[in-house]
Amino acid sequence: MKVSVIGAGTMGAGIAQIAATKGHEVYLYDSFDGAIETAENKLKKILNRMVEKKRITQQENIEILERINFTKEITEVSGSELVIEAIIENLEIKQKVFTEIESLVDKDCIIASNTSSLSIASIASSCKNAERVVGIHFFNPAPLMPLVEIIPAVQTSEDTLNKAKSIIDSWKKETVVAKDTPGFIVNRVARPFYGEAIKIYEEGVADFATIDWALKEIGGFRMGPFQLMDYIGNDINYTVTETVFTAFYFDSRYKPSFTQKRMMEAGYLGRKSGRGYYNYANKIPRANEDRVLGKKILWRILAMLINEAADALFLNIATKEDIDLAMTKGVNYPKGLLAWADEIGVDNVLQQLEDLQAEYSEDRYRPSPLLKRMVTANKTFY
């Protein structure tokens, strides 16, 4: 099967690598000066490193590269059975690209977007046959992260959805199906991990290092929120938050933070700029390892995360199994949030949210109706 990838940035090149590794003939396209050459050089380095680490053989390295065609001619996507777009998060540009792709491929070709937050329905509207369009959202780095969100638009046919899911499943990825709503599953449910952590810092409850310590050492998260924001990049993380906030008609649950905005404006983007919440030229500050304080921090953020996961289930964004799988495989959470709620008690989660709402009088802490109904009926998620 011929697979084409539009956009040769880190994500596009990663998707091309996966498809080629799985035996497909791949065309990686980019029109920007130097983008294709850069992608080719980076891929060669990555594959050589994989040979050194004995993850693939030298022969496999050669074969993977032979299957990838690096091109600056978009006409070369013709004959593809699947085209995945992985370009800038700009709706107008994506729509223009989709219109062009549709004119070059046959009627059975699936055209997919790797967007992390834009409406698949809006992207699909640029095509005459919108039924063939679907969201296929990988996570960075695509070859390593197991999760892929499959997002059907209102126009997407059942056949397109099933075919897209089947292809990505055959690539040995963990697929979840999500409704076409802002942030899909992961970028929606994960917002409080960052937003509530920043709010705790802004209130002077604890510093960055202590909040990170609490989430890692007590909660079991692989990275603390400030470490993770520095890893992702404050520019990227802030933009996703702002996009989700705007797309949800300015719902206060997704409200961006001035603290992160100022970091972005100052150029303190995180690891890639050498400074973010931490200055990477210096030693990371010591945390205040007070377990009582740590549990308080963890409990507040965890209750918000569980509430978001419960609301996603309440609004039929995805199944409970897919929501939990998405958070464990997409952002490496130590447990599925809904299973975690069962473990600590849905009633305890609801009580924490009601206490926060009473204290702050803010709508951001409103409990999901599903949590209220479950406590009333004495039910659990599983």
Q: What is the DSSP string of 305-339?
A: HHHHHHHHHHTTSS-HHHHHHHHHHHS--SS-HHH
- Pick the catalytic residue from 80, 137, 234, 308: 137
Distances (CA, A) of 343 to 338, 347, 349: 9, 11, 11
Domain extent at residue 37: 2-177
Percent of the chain whose pLDDT exceeds 70? 100
pLDDT of 117 reads: 81
Count of other CB atoms within 10 angstroms of residue 203 = 9
Q: What are phi and psi of 85, to 5 degrees?
A: -90, 130
In the predicted model, what is the mean pLDDT of residues 129-144?
Answer: 96
Residues 372 and 305 in one domain: yes
182 upstream amide cis, omega within 30 of 0: no
Strand arrangement, sheet containing 147-152? 68-71, 25-29, 2-6, 82-85, 110-113, 133-138, 147-152, 174-177
Look at residues 285, 301, 279, 309 and name the one whose alpha carbon lies nearest to residue 353.
301
Domain-embedded: residue 182: no
- Helix H or strand E encompassing 137: strand 133-138
pLDDT digits over 62-116, tens only?
Answer: 999 999 999 999 999 999 999 999 999 999 999 999 999 999 999 999 999 999 8
State whether 210 and 320 are in the same domain.
yes
Considering the domain boundaries, does residue 183 fall inside one?
A: no
Report the share of the chain in percent with pLDDT over 90: 98
Per the prediction, the chain carries an average pLDDT of 97
Of the candidates 67, 20, 22, 62, the residue with the CA atom closest to the CA atom of residue 44: 62
Residue 31: other Cβ atoms inside 10 A = 15
Nearest-Å Rg of the Cα atoms of the chain is: 22
Q: Which of 80, 102, 119, 149 is catalytic?
A: 149
Residue 338, pLDDT score: 98
Residue 89 near residue 212 (C-beta atoms within 8 A): no
Distance of CA 103 to the CA centre of its chain: 30
Rounded to whole angstroms, how far apart are CA atoms 168 and 147? 10
Is the same domain home to 247 and 158? no
The residue annotated as part of the active site, out of 114, 187, 234, 257, is 187
**Whether 69 and 13 share a structural domain:** yes
Q: Specify whether 138 is located in the same domain as 192.
A: no
User: Is 149 an annotated catalytic residue?
Assistant: yes
Q: Which of 4, 113, 114, 116 is catalytic?
A: 116
- Whole-number pLDDT of residue 42: 96
Side-chain-side CA neighbours of residue 342 (13 Å)? 10
Q: How far apart are CA 108 and CA 296, in angstroms?
A: 54
Average pLDDT over every residue of 210-219 = 98
Would the pLDDT of 176 be above 90? yes
Instruction: Give domain status of residue 129, yes or no.
Output: yes
Residues 24 and 133 reside in one and the same domain: yes
Active site (annotated) includes residue 24: no
Whether 187 is catalytic is yes
Q: What mean pLDDT is predicted for residues 241-260?
A: 94
Q: How many domains does the chain have?
A: 2
Residue ending a domain, among 177, 203, 225, is 177
- Read off the CATH number of the domain in which 146 is found: 3.40.50.720
